[in-house]
Chains A and B, each alone.
Chain A
Amino acid sequence: MNDKTIAAIATAQGQGGVGIIRISGENAFDIADRVFTSTSGKRPHSMPGYTASFGHVCDENGNNLEAIMLVFKKPHSYTGEDVIEISCQGGVYVTKSILRAILDNGAYPAEAGEFTKRAFLNGKMDLLEAESVMNIISAKNKTALKAANSVLEGKLGKRLKSVKEDLLTVAAHLSAWADYPEDEIPAVNEDEIFTAVEKASNALQALIDECDRGRVLTEGIDTVIVGKPNVGKSTLMNMLSGSERSIVTDIPGTTRDIVEDTVNLGNYTLRLSDTAGIRFTDDIIEKIGVDKALDKINTGELILAVFDGSGKLSEEDKHLIDKISNYNCIAIINKSDLPQIIDREYISQKIQHIVYTSAISQEGADNLIAALDDIFSTGAFNPGEGILAGERQRNTALSALEALIEAKYSLQAGYTLDAVTVSIEFAIQELLALTGERATEEIVNKVFERFCVGK
């Protein structure tokens, strides 16, 4: 199945200090031998595993590029195959030149995730680990990476172990109770079952809550910037994103469409939508923009309401404040470098978090982070502790949780225990799928859809 030898640049592309090109497969040593000349005359076939050799790669223009070759012999490598890693100076030119030389000598370019696929197929990692690697590859930021890593280290499995075992004990007791009607199986105590189910459902709930809190960090926050025209929303957004994304002018109504951008602020990733200023208008195009803005307010996870500190609160402002006060919302009082005449009292009665900022002085970013910490209470969140990584894991945990809630309901409502058993066993099955102890087509597809199966 793994008949081709594959190669790819294993480090992030860009101006890094060091670049690594990885070759994996049956011909890895032959190919390395052809492209790499060792100063000491060592050749990959005769080198022991886990050893390195210094030398150079000659690129197609005849340049000698300094490099170090690392040898991994199967099965003691990431993929379980013969692997060569060539470390060189970072930078697009050098790494690409070396990769080109390798491909010219018979290697095939690796598809996304193909090294991991081979590692999985060669028994170097289990399904959940493979899933974690895929999550790591696609991690948007450090937090997501940490979460995926914690799954890879088996921490999630350990956290779920006791939940699973408690439920298995209950299920086993219920089985005995059903299968031995006339033997002296200790009577089933419904309160005990309820307690065990509740304990398990609390644990799962905590895991999902953590995941959701963490999602703010791993997935980013859907953030809507609102405010009446010309208070400096676009300027704020540009400050956050560090690029001229919206058109900034002094003419009210310049921002007519929703502009999407993603910025990293502290640990947070904000997915920003700059909305058209909310004001009554006869301009058809702008009217559409206003409607979209109102829509966005309803679906966003965070609203940044921008006000001009140097101006008075208008009726439109007050209307907006009333509308958004029930959402996760931070009031940004802009133009704090100018004399302040805004009615701060009114705003603070309705909106808990107020941050003063100035597009010119860029003050207030730290205060904004503090306000985000407060709203999303991620302070206690530790992505290294074994949390759910990725949508598949969360969905499966949620499905298990729902089954347990149903089991509690059934117990309370007085359904017969065979019905309760259905829900508990369903939850166990979901937990097994979650920890990779049960293979379903769904999990395999989800994990490997990014592997281009079938190609």
Chain B
Amino acid sequence: MTYISENYDVGIIGAGHAGIEAGLACARLGCKTAVFTINLDAVGNCPCNPSIGGTAKGILVREIDALGGEMAKTADECLLQMRMLNRGKGPAVQSLRGQIDRRKYSDIMKHKLELQKNLYLKQAEITDLEFSDGSWVLTTRTGATHKCKCVIIATGTYLSGKVFIGETSFESGPDGIFPSVFLGDSLKKLGLSLRRFKTGTPARVLRSSIDFSDLEEQPGDDDIVHFSFENGFLREGENKVMCHISWTNDKTKQVILDNIHRSPLYSGKIEGAGPRYCPSIEDKIVRFSDKPRHQLFIEPCGETTEEMYLQGMSSSLPEDVQLSFYKTIKGLENVQIMRTAYAIEYDCVDPVQMNNTLEFTDFPGLYGAGQFNGSSGYEEAAAQGLVAGINAALKVKGKPPFVLDRASSYIGTLIDDLVTKGCSDPYRMMTSRSEYRLILRQDNADARLTPLGYELGLISEERYNAFLNKQELKKQEMKRIRETVISPGDELNKILVSRETSPVSTGVHLAELIKRPQLSYEALKSVDVNRPTLDKAIFSEVETEIKYEGYINKQQAQIEQMRRLETKNLPFDIDYNSITGLRLEAIEKLNKVRPANLGQASRISGVSPADISVLIIWLSSGRGR
């Protein structure tokens, strides 16, 4: 029996990292929004690592914040340890990673959803989705039907989830929560083509069973940069925990190889494609058999728990095998497993069925985000949730869509990759996926995106004014640095010589000095007498933009070139079969992806440069109009 329940502007299936950002964005943009979750205690759950960020992912988090999302602020609130990764490798690849208290993260997020005006958080399993009488209708397991103008599917690993531990397997969501068992069939009935992906997580072990005495420590940074631009920028040590490093060895390898036949991955029980860039330990040992050892990180899961997470050691081997190989590792000789490592298989879609607003091309008003779209990772999910939420809200309001291109952000790159190239395994964000790394930095995410967030209505007046003030100070300082001439003298030359760079005999622009790789803004403090007192974040951003000016300009030129192809729009209703000269494979792919413009078309695998040339000729001969 079903009954007619509330109507909503937007209905969101799932309250994980994607569902949260989607829900908050919709509600904040004035839409009556329902967020459905199978279990209210799993809102914003972190079923894998107890950390937010990482290479490239940390930049995503800052971008989410710059647009007015929530992930960064919540992570800052429950931060246990913060590190800026790749500190010595240059500004383009630096990214934050914070260890967080995962229960606290979940609680804070849940509370924020509860407090949010226009947002209704409901514990309910959605079992059916259909389009009828101009609305999307969501039906719950208990028979409530909700009419929604737009629906965002953010089902994570719950959709037809199945857990594998060695020979054992059972239907389940992550962390032993019920899976979503009916929705998959409903989506297939609707006409979405679903496929299986797989991911996995390591064991959680009891802190007191670990011998830390001989393990290498991994402390947080002394100077903490927070995820959120709102939380001040730099603060002295707030690291509450220590992480540790250990290594696998020959014995670990032997135990795993002796039991590899018991792995569901190798016996063929798991059909889903696993994440190439986050392999299980048995995968690493088999694929990189010449490597004598693999690194693992031991990370605390929170302040009020003794559970420890073994990063790098995910596995779907049987429980007894897990225990044996964990015990071969230094420090874990007497380890007590609290939660067994497992692999989980789930349904997701091929994201090329969507356009770059994350709306299904063939199903107006239906959006997808997160692992449902084939990505992996909390940050990737949150980024998509935010964009899907913004677009659903804009659609409800009858406003034009919000699209971020590759040159604007990692978020734009992520979505463009997904909807253009699709993915054959869970997609993880990496710095190498962006062509414009030196421009898409973690430190300037606000300059890139906050004006857009403000325009959308997700950034408060107060925050926007603070942002404008920061940009103005930055601009003034850039100007001052370019105009300041440092006169030659013993003090300056002492600095130059001590840093192994050539001394000067004439006056030299401060900017020119900063451009020397051996010199830093900090090193020149004593000769730069008129230096104003500014936030450290401004200094470091200014320093980067001056030091890397030439490279930044080079990337900017590439962006201009890219955007030229990007402005050549391809109508969605083109019948590519009718264009003479396109290769068969290209016709198929183009009909499937339906790219918005030539630039996007050029990134589709299977569409060759010759095909692009054909399209350019076709467009310029006036047929595109």
Contact = CB atoms under 8 A, between A and B. Distances in A.
A414 B432 contact: no
Interface in A379-425: 403, 406, 410, 413-419, 421-423, 425
Contacts of B56: 179
A419 B438 CA distance: 7
A423 B552 CA distance: 11
Interface string B423-440: 000000011100101100
A422 B551 contact: yes
Interface string A8-19: 000000000000
22 contacts: A121-B580, A121-B617, A126-B610, A127-B609, A175-B431, A178-B92, A178-B93, A179-B430, A181-B85, A181-B86, A181-B89, A184-B295, A416-B90, A417-B90, A418-B89, A418-B437, A419-B90, A425-B435, A441-B565, A442-B561, A447-B613, A453-B620
Contacts of B618: 1
Nearest to A122: B581
A416 B430 CA distance: 19
Given A123-B581, A178-B86, A179-B430, A444 B617 contact: yes
Given A179-B430, A181-B55, A184-B295, A2 B91 contact: no
A176 B288 CA distance: 15
Contacts of A181: 55, 85-86, 89
Contacts of A454: 620-622
Interface size class of B (residues with CB under 8 A): 35 or more
A177 interface: yes
Nearest to A178: B93
Contacts of B432: 175-176, 178-179
A439 B612 contact: yes
Main secondary structure of the interface of A (DSSP, over half): helix
A406 B555 CA distance: 14
B614 interface: yes
A181 to B, nearest CB: 5
A120 B613 CA distance: 9
Contact of A179 (B291, B431, B583, B608): B431
B621 A123 contact: no
Nearest to A403: B554
Interface in A79-130: 120-123, 126-127
Interface in B313-352: none
Given A123-B581, A413-B517, A440 B565 contact: yes
Interface of B: 55-56, 85-86, 88-93, 277, 291, 294-295, 297, 430-432, 435, 437-438, 516-518, 548, 550-551, 554-555, 558, 561, 564-565, 568, 579-581, 583, 598, 602, 608-610, 612-614, 616-618, 620-623
A156 to B, nearest CB: 15
Nearest to B584: A123
A416 B518 contact: no
Contact of A123 (B86, B435, B583, B620): B583
Contacts of B435: 425
Contacts of B558: 426, 429
B580 A418 contact: no
A55 interface: no
Given A1-B580, A178-B93, A417-B89, A127 B610 contact: yes
A128 to B, nearest CB: 9
B621 A175 contact: no
Contacts of A443: 609, 613
Contacts of B568: 441
Interface in A1-57: 1-2
Contact of B621 (A403, A442, A453): A453
Contacts of B610: 120, 123, 126-127, 436, 439
A413 B435 CA distance: 23
Given A419-B90, A439-B602, 15 more contacts: A120-B610, A120-B613, A126-B608, A178-B431, A184-B295, A416-B517, A417-B90, A418-B437, A418-B438, A419-B438, A419-B548, A436-B610, A439-B612, A453-B621, A454-B621
B518 A414 contact: yes
A183 B609 contact: no
A182 interface: yes
Contacts of A416: 88-92, 517
A179 B90 contact: no
Contacts of B85: 181-182
A182 B297 contact: yes
Contacts of A441: 564-565, 568, 598, 616
A423 B518 contact: no
Q: A123, A414, A416, A438: which has the most chain B beta carbons within 10 Å?
A: A416
Interface string A172-190: 0001111111111000000
Contacts of A1: 579-581, 618, 621, 623
Pick from A122, A126, A181, A438 the residue with the most CB of B within 10 Å.
Answer: A181
A187 to B, nearest CB: 12
A7 to B, nearest CB: 20
